Amino acid sequence: MKATLEIKNKTIIADFSKPLDISIPLRSSEENPLAWYQNKPTIAPVKMGDWTGKVSEGASVNFNNVFFNPHAHGTHTECFGHISKEFHSVNEALKTFFFLAEVISIKPEASSPLERAGGADENISEESISKALKGKTPEAIVIRTLPNTSDKKSKHWSDTNWPFLHEKAALFLREIGVKHLLIDLPSVDKEKDDGKLLAHKAFWNFPQNPRADCTITELIYVPDSVDDGSYLLNLQIASFHNDAAPSKPVLYKIL
């Protein structure tokens, strides 16, 4: 099914019959991705007295409770309320859901050969992003880190010191007008950074003049079958009154 949309004064024709889902589903299993030292999420039937909300145990319906943390247990989208003293909801920040997006693949590296030789932390640099974008200035960017192993869909990330987005790279994305940043890591920042959150703050322009309508989506997974290039992004979020919500970003090829 082809559809025509007007986005940012551009006419886009996309193939809606072949969605490319880049979210990771939530599962009550150790195979669920985990971060921030949290245990696996739980999805279990309600129990009230001798009644269990499970059809296979005699109930008329399946009736489950779900316990999880949006930031730790799968694909989620957050607003600047994630780092502000005042409460801000991602459900209020994201009001439109279709964007022109650029998928890029980046191999994180230490900033210099000397640092690489010394085993320094790996980061995604401004230079690597600029080179991958080739002058494009999309409203949304999807960063696939390399190597792109399928264990990202079930990885336990705590204490792994994952690569991070350099502060200058986040500032560069803000300056070229990127409003929605998607990445396949648990955070755009270092796992342990003493609460500096440099990439979050640079991207959202926080606290000087926060970009209230901009979002960061973390813990996505972009299969190798999805080529780098331009796509139509449908950024779907659950309607949570919270700084972050589970989300389902879906890409569509542009025809």
- Angle made by CA atoms 213, 215, 217, in degrees to the nearest 5: 165
Strand partners, 247: 237
Helix (H) or strand (E) holding 133: helix 126-133
pLDDT tens, 196-219? 999 999 999 999 999 999 999 999
User: Which residues have a Cβ under 8 Å from the Cβ of 14 and sit 6 or more positions away?
Assistant: 2, 3, 5, 232, 252, 253, 254, 255
- Angle made by CA atoms 231, 131, 165, in degrees to the nearest 5: 80
pLDDT > 90: what percent of the chain? 90
Comparing 2-11, 139-148, 187-196, which segment has the lowest mean pLDDT?
2-11
55, pLDDT greater than 70? yes
118, pLDDT greater than 60? no
pLDDT in the model for residue 115: 55
DSSP 88: -
Residue 57's Cβ-count burial label (10 Å; 0-12, 13-18, 19+) is: exposed
pLDDT in the model for residue 119: 54
Fold category of 2-26+70-253 in CATH: Glucose Oxidase; domain 1 (3.50.30)
Task: Tokens for 75, please give them.
Answer: 């694909």
Helix, strand, coil shares of the chain, percent, nearest 5, are 15, 30, 50
Say if CB 219 and CB 185 are below 8 A apart.
yes
**Do the bridges between strand 244-253 and strand 20-21 make them parallel or antiparallel, or are there none, so unpaired?**
antiparallel
